[in-house]
Structure 1
Amino acid sequence: MSKTIAGIKVPDSALARQIDQLVRDTESDLLYHHSNRVFLFGALAGQRKGLKVDSELLYVGAMFHDMGLQASYASKDERFEVDGANAAAEFLRSHRIDERDIDDVWDAIALHTTPGIPKHKRPVVALVTAGVEMDVLGLEYDAFTEHQRHEVCTCHPRGHDFKNGIIDAFAAGTIHKPETTFGNVKADVLDLRDPTYKRGNFCSIILNSAWSE
């Protein structure tokens, strides 16, 4: 049966049910519920902003957005966002989804930790990031009603100390490939959680490059 949370209808197609089961079986409770909240907050943001979005594609992007943190989907040298995007694309291709839609989902996942760009892209891309930014960073918190926040978090609880829990999940998914954090927000995560981490410096790379001047 289809379910409605805070006025948002959760996709209930065969594809959506497979995704729900896959994420439930693969991720921790913390990340599973976080991914569901990302969909709901993203959809609510789209509703508020008058954006027309394919709800199922938004659901795919939200549910897969942290899959790259899981060992079974993690590469040795790609950013976890790219690993998650690749996992979603492979899943969608196996279901013969249109390549344009796959591109939107790929961008939505790959760009969800790159501030300032997704909001200028197509709705699926913009709203996955909007959902992430609300749930993790609390951006535009007051633009959601207390009822909306309560209903979303009742159905998909944040649990005890979500703030530290999500940072720990980010750290666990990136600590084995610190070079992928250069120039992105996960550098802050390893700087906080890994005492051996050395942050790359963009200016130092320029000044120490092989160019003579």
Structure 2
Amino acid sequence: MTSIHPNSRTFAGVTLIDSPLVKAALEYARVHNDNMSFNHVYRSWVFGAMIASKLPKFANVDLEIHAVSAILHDLAWDYKSVFSTPDKRFEVDSANAAREFIDRMAPQWDSRKRQLVWDGIALHTTGSIARYKEPEVALCHLGISADFIGPAFPGDVISREDFNAVIQELPRLDFKEGVTRIVCNLCIHKPETTYDSFPRDFGIRFVKGYEVPSEVDKILKAIDATAEA
């Protein structure tokens, strides 16, 4: 059983933590995300909570850390976001924005809790790392992934009925088109931040003129430069 919090509520059949900090995070995401993105981060939190309730590996997960991470994970994925910078991946910008939120709203949190939120957000698209981090970090990634793949989530953890119940409350709102637009805009407006992450594939497929510099060429050039020094 996941950690119990005195404040909880049921949403689409899923028990969710309902602390003042989680409520504040929802309000913050509501202000800084469009409707499609807000529904996505909310669903990601719900699916993560659903997964945590069914898998023993998340028995001792801190549900508040997970909630804040999931709810704030896309604060900067729109290149026009006030949190977006020209030189950082959107995951890092979002993690930094979430850390600033926690500094203001939860000054009592220790450094470990803050770091888990930062890691959960910064690594949420890097499953090959996130899955092997702390349970809160792994759960953030898994809940977000579940919003994309739904009942195809491994292990039959999310049934079609479970998935539909959440979608009924939080519609997808042209999710496929919205994600494609947002991610392609990252490739257009801050391409250097996309070369080593999943937006690269969107850029290659959908953005005219988008080119990814060869890592091999960069490495060999750097070796040549050091050899000549």
TM-score of the pair, normalised by structure 1: 0.91
2:124 alignment partner in structure 1: 112
Q: Which runs of 5+ in 1 are unaligned?
A: none
CA distance in 1, matches of 2:213, 2:149: 24
Deviation at 1:201, TM superposition (A): 2.1
SS in 2 for 1:69: coil
CA distance in 2, matches of 1:43, 1:2: 12
Q: List 4+ stretches of structure 1 deviating above 6 A.
A: none
- After TM superposition, list the pairs within 5 Å mapping 1:24-173 onto structure 2: 24-50=30-56, 51=58, 52-70=60-78, 71-94=81-104, 95-96=106-107, 97-138=109-150, 140=153, 142-160=156-174, 162-173=175-186
Give 2:64's aligned amino acid.
E
Deviation at 1:21, TM superposition (A): 1.3
| Range with bigger deviation, 137-146 or 193-202 | 137-146
Q: Could you tell me whether the CA contact under 8 Å between 1:40 and 1:131 is conserved in 2?
A: yes
1:202 aligns with 2:215: yes
CA distance in 2, matches of 1:14, 1:133: 26
CA distance in 1, matches of 2:149, 2:217: 30
| Range with bigger deviation, 7-16 or 62-71 | 7-16
SS in 2 for 1:10: strand
**Cα RMSD, aligned residues only:** 2.0
1:11 alignment partner in structure 2: 17
1:190 alignment partner in structure 2: 203
Per-residue CA deviation, residues 55-77 of structure 1 (Å, 9 max, x unaligned), is 12111111111112242110120
Return closer, same or farther for 1:66/1:19 CA change in 2, 3 Å cut-off. same
CA distance in 1, matches of 2:187, 2:42: 22
Q: Could you tell me whether the CA contact under 8 Å between 1:85 and 1:107 is conserved in 2?
A: yes
Counterpart among 189, 195, 203 of residue 176 in structure 1 = 189
Give 2:161's aligned amino acid.
H
Q: Could you tell me whether the CA contact under 8 Å between 2:180 and 2:202 is conserved in 1?
A: yes
Deviation at 1:208, TM superposition (A): 2.5
Return closer, same or farther for 1:42/1:174 CA change in 2, 3 Å cut-off. farther
Deviation at 1:5, TM superposition (A): 2.2
Give 2:163's aligned amino acid.
R
Give 1:118's aligned amino acid.
A
CA distance in 1, matches of 2:183, 2:210: 14
Deviation at 1:137, TM superposition (A): 4.3
% identity of equivalent residues: 34
Q: Which runs of 5+ in 2 are unaligned?
A: 1-6
Return closer, same or farther for 1:165/1:111 CA change in 2, 3 Å cut-off. same
CA distance in 2, matches of 1:88, 1:23: 10
CA distance in 2, matches of 1:169, 1:207: 33
